[in-house]
Structures are given as C-alpha cells and as structure tokens.
Amino acid sequence: MVQTMSDKQTVTPENGSQEFPQNTILKGVGVSVGIGIGQVVVMDRLVTEICPCRILTPEEIGDELARFENAVQEAEKRLNTIKSHIVADHPLGDHSYILDTHILLLRDKMLYEGTRRGIEQGRQNAEWALSEVMSRISTAFESVDDEYIRERAKDVYFVGERVLRLLLGVSTEKKIHQLPGNSILVVHDLSPADAAQIKRESVLAIATDIGGRTSHSAIMSRSLKIPAVTGLEKICRMVKTGDTIIVDGSTGLVILNPDAEMMFRYRQRQDLLRNYHQSLLAYGRLPAVTRDGSRTIKILANIELVDEIDIALAHGCEGIGLFRTEYLFLGREDLPSEEEQFEAYRAVLALNKPSPVTIRTLDIGGDKIASSLNLPPETNPAMGLRAIRLCLNLKGLFKTQLRAILRAAHYGNCRLLVPMISCITEIHSTKAIIAEVKAELGSEGVQFGEDTKFGILVEVPAAVAIADLLAREVDFFSIGTNDLIQYALAIDRLNEHVNYLYDTLHPAVLRLIRQVVNAGQAYGVSVAMCGEMAGDPVNVPILVGLGIDELSMNALSIPLVKKLIRSISYDDCLELTHQAFQMQSAQEIHDFLEKWIFEKFPGDYFLSQQ
C-alpha cells in the first residue's frame, strides 16, 4: 500500500484513529470499478470494544450471574443444534468432538470461572467481565511459540465471543444489512457471508484491509455494482465512522479527508462514467456476433443471489452461466431446506426461461465458510475439503441440493455444473448420486428435469490435462479461470501480497485454455468460460480467437463485451491469437492486447479503465 501524507498526523484520543492531512491518498487493489464518495462506517471494531461497562450494585450481582448462566446455556443449546445437523454423515467421520470441545470450553475454568469472578468480586456486568477475560486470554497466548496452544486459546476466545454476542443480543454475523444510506463500508476483511448481506442501495463503496481481485467478496462487489478497493492494509484503523472519504475502485485509490476541489473532480468523473455506462446499455440487447457474421458468442451472467437477476437481465444476459448456489448457505446458522433451495432455483430458471441457467452445485470451502456446517479449520482450505469433495463426503447435504435443482429444472432450461473436478472418479460418483436422486424423485412421482445437462467446471490443472477423458463424460465444460490460475500459477487468489503475480494472460494460462477448447471441440462438447477473465474487455479478442463458445461474466461487463465482439472480425481474432501465442511473457501479451484494443477503441479503452 502506498500512503501519501505529511508527517503532521495527529492522533485523536477518543478512537485511536488518526487525523490525516487533506487529500491523503492510500493505494490498494481496485477490484470493482466506479467511484464512491460518502461517510465511512467502520464495521470491524471487535465485539470486546463495543461492550457496555457498568459497576453492579451488590443486589444486582445474583441476577447478573443468572444472565451469564443463561447465555452460556443458550450457547450450549445452539452448539448442540449445529452438532445434530451435521454429525450424521460428516466427512471426517465423527468429528463431533470439535463441537463437544467447544461445549466443554463454555465451562472452561479461565473463561467461565473468570467471568463469574469478575461479576461477583469485581462487580462488573457480564459483558465487561467476559470481555476482560477474553482480552487476557488473547494477550497471554498470542506470543506463545507453540502453534497448537495458540490455536486452543483461539478456540476459547471463539467460544467466549459466542456467549458475548448472546449477552449483547447481537447476531453472530456483522450487521451489514442494517447500514445507513450513503455508507462507505470499511472492514478489515469482508467474508462472502458479509458481502451477501449488503444492500446495494445503502452502500456506496467498500474499502478493506485485505483481499485480492478474485476473492469472492470482490466478485460480489462487482455483481452488486459497488466500487471497491481491497488490500489497503490498515484502513480500518486509519479512519473512523463518520469520516468522509472517496473510494476509486478503478484506480485502487482511496482519498482520506478530501478537500472541496478533490470532491468536485471526482464528482465530475462519476458523471462521466455514469453517462458512459448508460450509453453502452443498448449493446446489451444485441447478440455478440463478430463483425463478419461468422461467429456468435453467447454472453451470460454470473450471479450469487436471486436478487441479482434484475441487474443481469437489464444488462442483456442471454442466460445465467454460473449461479453460485453456496451463497444460499452463507451468513446463517441453519441449512437451507430442500424447499427453500427449490424456490430459489425455480425463481432463477423461470425468470430466464427459455435461456439456460447453469446451477453450480455447492462450492463451499476456501473463503466461503458455511457456519452451519461447522467444518473444522484446514491448514490450506483452497486445496482442502471443498466443492465436490465436500459434497461427495456429505452425501445427505448433496442429495438435498440435487433434489432441489432437479425439481426446479422442470420449470426452465437447467444445466447442472459441478465445481473442482480433478479426476474421472469424481464424475462417476457424482453421476451415481444424480441417478439415485432421479430414481427417488421418479418413484415419489415428483416432476423433475429429466434431461438436465451435466457439465463440469474445469478449474484444476489436472482436469485440463485429462480434458479429453473428461469430455466423454459431460455435456459441457466451463473454464473457471479464477481457480485455474490460482492452482496453475500457485498464487493464492485471496492474498493481496501475491496479487501482482496473478496473471490471466500468462502463457501457461492461455495454453491451458487452448487445451480445454481443443478437447471440447474434438468431442463435440461446448466450452464456456465463467471465471473473471471472461468479462475483461482486454481478453475478449483472444478468447474469441481461441474458440470459446460462451462467456459468462459479471453483468455490468456484458454491454461492453458485446460491443467489442460486434466490432471485430473473427479473422482478426485468429490472427491476434496466433501472434499472442508466439510471445513469451504475460506482460508482453498484455501490452500487445491492450495496444490492439486501444488502437481500435480508444474511447472505450479509456473509459473502461476509469
């Protein structure tokens, strides 16, 4: 992060944040274009910092002890409920010991007795007493070398936080859905569960300390049309609620304490961009056919929530190329029932009929954590028990989702997409479960989409290597470049420190894509792309040249991508692709493609970078 500021910073005593000179500029990673100017709401103060503190009268002590006891019992009840939901077919066999441990920790000597002592002897209210114990625990253990002990201390802290939230009467999630209008949301990290709660009418922009371009929170910000900058490292501590800031999601700049002239300049840019995007909308209604008429690319939208359909349709999507269904599971403590899922899938299918809707089966894991599943933490979640691996292990959960999807498929043009396939056995196992579900639905006399198409996300390099084998098993491929790049280039897509290496145009990535297209063409399997790469205008000519049949993207990108495809010829794309494949580095290819686009579409190039 670059910080431009004079050394005359002062610290305001009440909140610890600093007062910066006017127009202090922070540089992060712009992950969702557009400009937001508004008042900061910092959502990351720890629960312990918002605890009310009160000295009890001697008469109040008994009631306070009872209040604490009730909160502990309620926490125990909720942990038992979670346990009853998932123990039956948990992937790690009986891992209920983790929940049992948390239940036992509720009565941990340090935590439980320590809090009671604070109430009884210190005459502190329960929240205060508990938060003091929690602070002591984290201070005492944070410098311990032994990782195992540090992790156990974290468990105690986690359990304490659960009780604290119950005492405070706040939900376990941050209250992001209740932000006031015109807010600029500032958080340390925005989990996909947090992002799913955002109401786009009240959040003007998002700024976070950590996170990369293809993190799911970044993807959500783009879907919701909310400008966002991540990787600002310390913005949470630098600003306070009520400060005015500017977030420029295109350049990755955040301006603290802007003066009138700066505000004026940014408001002008905001107007320019608004008019530009408005003028592009007409292209959304047209097909993406190359200028010579020889190739038509289907342009679809990626969505996370049913609510995003209106934006997708307004921007001219020709169906949904990726419905990330796991968002139905995030930010809640229970699991969505078959009925709830069925209604969501049916709504999306019905709204798009007769266009296709590609429903991806659960891709939980990585940065998408469903607290209802209470899965144990993993050292390397991106390579852990996620997506199809988790579903094949949690067969009950998977079957419920498949029932809901197949039932909904009766109401539209449904395609089933399975994430993170890395070997053929996973396809066989998945198909066996689908067959089982179909047989059950059939014997119950329930209507379902018998001929639902079956496809896989090609996002693990191993799947690319055996694409010829996999092609014989599926109706379609969809290339998930977000993960494919992460795994092929060994770059954690969530880590802002290695983001500079995350290169869509790395020659290795282009060769992997070509391999998938070739396998698809050889076996008559259509090849789509639904990773973020598909929606970046700079990549469009090479993706057309490579022979991709379908591009699925953030809805906002659709009009510009259609405009570009309609203005270029297929022969030009083939020639450009041929030349790019002679080049040796991502930078060389990027410069070449950028120059090509710039020369042909200077206005669009300039404005799409804003």
308-327 residues in contact with ligand PEP (CB under 6 A) are: 322, 324
Tell me, by CB under 5 A, how many residues bind Mg ion.
Answer: 3
Nearer to ligand PEP, 211 or 480 (CB): 480
Residue 536 partner contact from ligand PEP, Mg ion, none using kind-dependent CB cut-offs of 5 to 8 Å? none
Considering just the CA atoms, what is the radius of gyration of the chain in Å? 26
Annotation says 530 is catalytic? yes
Q: Report d(CA 221, CA 244) in Å as an integer.
A: 20
Using CA atoms, how far residue 100 sits from 108, 138, 171, 359, in Å, is 12, 22, 22, 35
Report the candidate in 534, 524, 545 with the shortest Cα–Cα distance to residue 295: 545
Among 7-15, 128-136, 475-483, 557-565, the segment contacting ligand PEP (CB under 6 A)? 475-483
Annotation says 216 is catalytic? yes
Pairing of strands 18-19, 35-42: unpaired
Tell me, by CB under 6 A, how many residues bind ligand PEP.
Answer: 10
Q: For residue 284, give every residue at least 6 positions away whose Cβ sits within 8 Å of its Cβ, in sequence order, or none.
A: 314, 315, 316, 558, 559, 562
Check binding of 482 to ligand PEP (CB under 6 A): yes
And the tokens for 20? 């910066």
Smallest gap from Cβ 533 to Mg ion, in A, equals 12
Check binding of 183 to ligand PEP (CB under 6 A): no
- Judged by DSSP in three states, 18 sits in strand
Q: Report d(CA 230, CA 188) in Å as an integer.
A: 9
Q: Report d(CA 83, CA 101) in Å as an integer.
A: 12
- Judged by DSSP in three states, 53 sits in coil
Report the candidate in 235, 280, 264, 262 with the shortest Cα–Cα distance to residue 33: 280
Given phi > 0 = left and psi -120 to 50 = alpha, else beta, which region is 16?
A: left
Check binding of 483 to Mg ion (CB under 5 A): yes
Check binding of 531 to ligand PEP (CB under 6 A): yes
Residue 481 partner contact from ligand PEP, Mg ion, none using kind-dependent CB cut-offs of 5 to 8 Å? ligand PEP
Check binding of 532 to Mg ion (CB under 5 A): no
Check binding of 363 to ligand PEP (CB under 6 A): yes
Pick the catalytic residue: 317, 530, 573, 590?
530
- Residue in the block written with tokens 């109040």: 60
And the tokens for 421? 């396939």
Nearer to Mg ion, 316 or 480 (CB): 480
Check binding of 161 to ligand PEP (CB under 6 A): no
Q: Report d(CA 261, CA 255) in Å as an integer.
A: 12
Pick the catalytic residue: 216, 277, 315, 506?
216
Nearer to ligand PEP, 126 or 348 (CB): 348
Check binding of 481 to ligand PEP (CB under 6 A): yes
Check binding of 321 to Mg ion (CB under 5 A): no
Site string for Mg ion, 435-464 (x = CB under 5 A): ------------------------x-----
Which residues are part of the catalytic machinery?
216, 530
Residues lying near Mg ion in the complex (CB under 5 A) are found at 459, 480, 483
